[in-house]
Amino acid sequence: MGAAYFYHLTRRPLEETLPLLLDKALGAGWRVAVRGVDDARLDWLDARLWLGPEDGFLPHGRAGGPHDALQPVLLTTGPERPNGAACVMAVDGAPVTPEEVQALERVCILFDGNDGRAVEGARAQWRALTGAGCSAQYWSEASGRWEKKAEA
């Protein structure tokens, strides 16, 4: 059974934090689905991921292409995981079900701590997932480094 990890972004934006988490997930041998709610926003994020770090390469693609099943990281707005993802990273308030958390290795929920609606949405997801019996951790970067602040 997996766990949901909540990442409260306050110092670095999504486009800086996501590649770090994706790199760790790929290092664990997991394929990843990055789930968003808006195609235009995922297109923007896709372009940022291609810029990547100067010393590395983050293989990824947008869902709907002919090679979805081969992508180590697939950006999508849907619940499907044609790449066989063991990890879902939900951004911008994308929904995640308790069944997914329990079936996957990991679910990461990244939310903008400077956006009150995003914070409230993450709190609602925390209550829904932990209320359904899912294991969850809350991570904050407020101190300048990532620290686990809560676990359920």
Q: What tens digit of pLDDT does each residue of 85-129 get? A: 999 999 999 999 999 999 999 999 999 999 999 999 999 999 999
Contacts of 69 (CB under 8 A, 6+ apart): 82, 83, 84
Cβ pair 54, 152 in contact under 8 A? no
Please indicate, yes or no, if residue 85 is contained in any of the structural domains: yes
pLDDT at position 137, please?
Answer: 98
8 A C-beta contact, residue 107 and residue 3: yes
- Give yes or no for residue 57 having a pLDDT over 70: yes
Cα gap 151→75, rounded to integer Å: 28
CATH number of the domain bearing residue 43: 3.40.50.10110
39 within a domain of the structure (yes/no): yes
Does residue 53 lie within any of the structural domains? Answer: yes
Cα 133 to Cα 112: distance, rounded to the nearest angstrom: 25
**Domain assignment present for 103:** no
pLDDT(56) > 80: no
Least-confidence region, from 38-42, 49-53, 87-91: 49-53
User: Would 26 be classed as within a structural domain?
Assistant: yes
pLDDT of residue 53: 63
Structural domains of the chain, count: 1
- Please determine, for residue 144, whether its predicted confidence score (pLDDT) is greater than 80: yes
Which residue range is the domain that position 77 belongs to? Answer: 3-96+112-151
* Calpha distance 14→70 (Å, rounded): 24
The band of 55, judged by pLDDT with boundaries at 50, 70 and 90, is low
**Domain for residue 18, yes or no?**
yes
106 occurs within a structural domain: no
Is 101 inside a domain boundary?
no
- Gap between the Cα atoms of 128 and 37, Å rounded: 19
**In whole numbers, what is the pLDDT of the chain averaged over residues?**
94
